[in-house]
Structure 1
């Protein structure tokens, strides 16, 4: 793979997450009844960062959960005749404003699976989607409510999000395959 572009460095990523945090507060007229749910793997640490930002702004500590979408994927039968299923812990979502957080939205299938997992846990007041990167190429009618950066990409490119909690650095890069 060949590096095509550095999209966000650490400072730009922090500014972007701060802006998303402000937008969440503004759109929801505060942060009451909000639960941040990070889509495993990189969505969860991003949700924790957004929670920290909202605490700095509103002095309100939000609950941060994670959701494992493996049970709700629509391609399980393609992966294996008998895919291994991991049981996900239920999340209390009743009458809560759920903000799903992920690093990249691409086809929309991951977001759809996460929404299915949330609804399986109960009936939230609403579900909104926050993503660091929107790279386009949707296959489902799903859009993010909060977008850090829109990046036009080709299907032959890879968007790599690195976060310090997992990758020891913070950046968003595009690679050519």
Structure 2
């Protein structure tokens, strides 16, 4: 079986726009809001969401990107690791929206929450994902979802973004 296209470029744009409007609605505008994208592809998606919210609300929304490597429970941190986090604002008392490409087990989201909490105490932490594929191992759910995509554990969901991959798409790859 070949890969299966789930979202093409237009469908991704629509999902990002919908997520952006839902964030605005739930937070009653963009006041006190900040967007933090989880590296790697969540960073690009987060930047797009921050830009879309800024266009709609008529003011820039603080945006940062978060490297969760040091907070993961499934990998040892190598001595050569360079933290790529860039959060040029305080999270204290902010409404933080974490953005990731795919939520699967929930472990990346938990790591991201730990990393944000280490920087201060936000008023709220919300989670936006392009794809929710199920199979949680932790009791974590996304607040904003572009596409619910039931998968088997053997399949792989691959998100591609133009900034890194030259194309915007979401694919399901068959069992390896």
Residue 83 of structure 1, CA deviation: 3.3
Matched, 1:37 2:23: no
Change (3 A) 1:107 1:68: same
Post-superposition CA distance 1:77-118 (Å, at most 9, x none):
4xxxx7335446574201101000000000000000000000
Trace 1:18-57 onto structure 2 (pairs within 5 A).
Answer: 18-57=17-56
Matched, 1:151 2:149: yes
Residue 55 of structure 1, CA deviation: 1.7
Matched, 1:69 2:64: no
| 1:105 and 1:133 in contact (8 A); partners too | yes
Structure 1: tracts of 5 or more residues without a match: none
Give me the TM-score of the superposition, normalised by structure 2. 0.93
| 1:9 and 1:170 in contact (8 A); partners too | yes
| 2:64 and 2:86 in contact (8 A); partners too | no
| 1:90 and 1:121 in contact (8 A); partners too | no
Task: Give the equivalent residue in structure 2 for 1:119.
Answer: 117
Residue 76 of structure 1, CA deviation: 3.0
Task: Give the equivalent residue in structure 2 for 1:107.
Answer: 105
SS in 1 for 2:159: strand
Instruction: Count the aligned residue pairs.
Output: 172
Task: Give the equivalent residue in structure 1 for 2:135.
Answer: 137
Rounded to whole Å, the distance in 2 between the matches of 1:54 and 1:15 is 14
| 2:33 and 2:61 in contact (8 A); partners too | yes
| 1:71 and 1:86 in contact (8 A); partners too | no
The structure 1 segments of at least 4 consecutive aligned residues displaced by more than 2 Å after TM superposition are 82-91
Structure 2: tracts of 5 or more residues without a match: none
SS in 2 for 1:165: helix
| 1:70 and 1:86 in contact (8 A); partners too | no
Of 90, 93, 110, 2:91 maps to 93
The more displaced of 68-77 and 160-169 is 68-77
